[in-house]
Structure 1
Amino acid sequence: MDFEKRIREIAEGHGANFFGIADLSTARDAVLDQGGQMIAQYPRAISVGIELLHPIVDELPNRNRREVSISYRLHCYDIINQRLDLIASHISSVLQKEGYRAFPVPASERVDDERICAIFSHKMAARLAGLGWIGKSCLLVTPEAGPRVRWVTVLTDAPLNATGKPIEDRCRECRECVNICPVRAFSGRPFDEKEPREARYDASVCERYLHFLGETTGSAVCGLCLYVCPYGKETVFKLFGKKLFSRIVQQSDLSSYDGHEKRK
C-alpha cells in the first residue's frame, strides 16, 4: 500500500475529517522564529483536523449559560484535542517504525506566554497543505466547514510527496468575524504571510476578555468568530436544512464587561 495512503487511512480511521501534507520549506523562517531549530529541522508536516459539533457551536451566542459553556469546553475543545493528540501519536509511531523521525505537536498547548502561541502553528500547516485559508479572524477557514475545525500536526522527515498547495483567500469583503468580536481584537486586514500576526489580531485583548469571562461566568469560552463565519453556517444548512439554519440565536449580554478595547 502507498505509504501516504496508509497514513491517511490511520487518521481517517480514528475519526479525522481533514488530512493533508505540507511542504514547510517556504515557511522555514516563520517556523524557526516560533519554535526554534528543534522544530525547524523538519521539512514536512502532516495536518489533521476534526470537525466540531455544529449544534454546540451554534449555541455560542448563549455561552453565558453554564450548560452551553461546559458543552463547548468539553466536546469542542478538551475531548477533540485528546482525540487529535491520539491520532498524532499513532501516526508518529508508524513513521518511527518505518525509520523516519516524527514530532507530534500537541493540539493545544501554549509554550510562549508573552507571544501567546504554541511551539508551531497548526493553522500554518493546514494552510500550506491546501486545506483552507487564514481568515480575518486568524482562524483557518475550510471550504467544507469554515473555521469549525480543530487541528493537530505531525512534523516529519518522511519523504511524503503528496504535498498540497495553499488555496486562495475566499473571505473577500466579508467582515462577520471582525464585527462580532466583543473586544475588537481583529483589525480586519486580510492574511499576508509577510506580516506579523499582530497586524491582524491582538491576542492579548482576546486573552484578557477570556479571563474576564472565566471570572464572571466560570468558563472562559467565547468563540463568536468561530460561530459567525458564513462558511460554517453554510455547512449547517447543508447538514440540517433551512429550519435549523434559520433559527435565531440571541447574542449573550456583554454589557457587564467594561474592558472593551478598539484596535488603533
Structure 2
Amino acid sequence: MELYEKLTEYCEAKLTLYGFANLEENKEAVFLDQLKRYDYAIAIGINIPDNIVDNLDTDEGRKKYLEAYTQVNNLLNENASHIVEIIKQYGFNAVNVDSSYILPGENFVGEISHKLVANLAGLGWIGKSALFINPYYGPRVRWATILTDAALPVENKRMKSRCKSCRLCVENCPVNAFDDKEFSEDVSRDERYDAGACASYFDRLESMGKPRLCGLCVKVCPWGLVNKNSRKKEDKI
C-alpha cells in the first residue's frame, strides 16, 4: 500500500516512535463521540531528552522540563498536521488529535487516550503510574494521535505490562496518586490513579510560584533509565 509506505517513511524520518492501530473493536480509546467514526489510528511519539528528565527534582530542572514539554507537544502537533495532509492527498479523511488538550470537566481526559492507541500499536504498556511506558525509552516520550478512515494494513499487538513488582513510581509520588495496580481493561483509571491528587498538587506548586508540573514518576521509572546510554535516535528538540 503506497500510503502506508509514505507514512512509514515520514514517521521514520521525523519521529522517535510511531505505530499503527485498528480501532474498529477498540472505541473505548476514543472519548469524543464525533471521532469514533474513524477506525484506524497512527500513534506518534517524541522523546523528552534525558538530560532534561534527569534534573526534574530541582526548580530549575522543572522549568527546563516545562519548556521541553511544550516544545515536544508543539512538534508532535506539527508533525501530526503533516501526516493528516499526506493522508488527504491519497483521498482519505484524517484528523490529528492534540497531544495535550484536556476536555472540560473533572475527568482529566483528552479527546482520545493516546496511551491506549500506542498500546494497541504495540509500542509499550500503561504502567502503574498511568504513564505509557515504551520498553526502550520508558515513559520519557510524549504522544499524539492521527485518526483516519484509510484502511491501513495493521494488526493490533498489545503489549502486556512489565511493571511486575516494581513500585518506584508509587513510592516516589509526593501525593500518593498511584494505587500499585497494573493496567487492566477491566479496572478503571480512577481505581489505579488519582488524577485529581496530581491536579491539586500542581495548583499548590503554581500558588508557590513554581512550574505546574511534577514528573518524578517519569524520572524514576527504571524503563527510562536502563537504555539511556544506547539510545540511537537523536533528540528532536
Q: How much has 1:239 moved relative to structure 2?
A: 5.1
Distance in 1 between the 2:11 and 2:221 partners? 26
| Aligned match of 2:32 | 35
Q: Which residue of 2 aligns with 1:175?
A: 167
- Take 1:239 and 1:40, find their aligned partners in 2: how far apart are those partners? 36
Measured on the aligned residues, the alpha-carbon RMSD in Å equals 1.5
Task: Specify the alignment match of 1:23 in structure 2.
Answer: 22
2:177 aligned with 1:185, yes or no? yes
- Greater than 6 Å deviation, 4+ residue runs: none
3-state SS, counterpart of residue 80 of structure 1: helix
Query: Contact 1:19–1:47 at 8 Å: present in 2 too?
Result: yes
**Matched residue, 1:258:** none
Matches of 1:107 and 1:191 in 2, distance apart?
A: 21
Query: What CA deviation, in whole Å up to 9, does each residue of 1:102-135 have, x standing for no partner?
Result: 0100011111331111111100110000000010
Tell whether 2:6 aligns with 1:6. yes
User: TM-score, normalised to structure 2's length?
Assistant: 0.93
1:1-264 residue pairs with structure 2 within 5 A? Answer: 2-14=2-14, 16-28=15-27, 30-31=28-29, 34-36=31-33, 38-62=34-58, 65=59, 67-75=60-68, 77-238=69-230
Does the CA-based 8 Å contact 1:47-1:129 persist in structure 2? yes
2:235 — aligned with what? Answer: none
CA distance in 2, matches of 1:11, 1:74: 24
Unpaired runs of 5+ in structure 1? Answer: 241-264
Distance 2:142 2:62 in 1: 17
CA distance in 2, matches of 1:44, 1:120: 13
Q: Secondary structure at the match of 1:205?
A: helix
Paired with 2:212 and 2:122, the residues of 1 have a C-alpha distance of 31
Percent identity over the alignment? 38
Give the TM-score normalised by the residue count of structure 1: 0.84
Report the number of matched residues: 232
The one of the two structures with greater contact order (alpha-carbon pairs below 8 A, sep at least 6) is 2
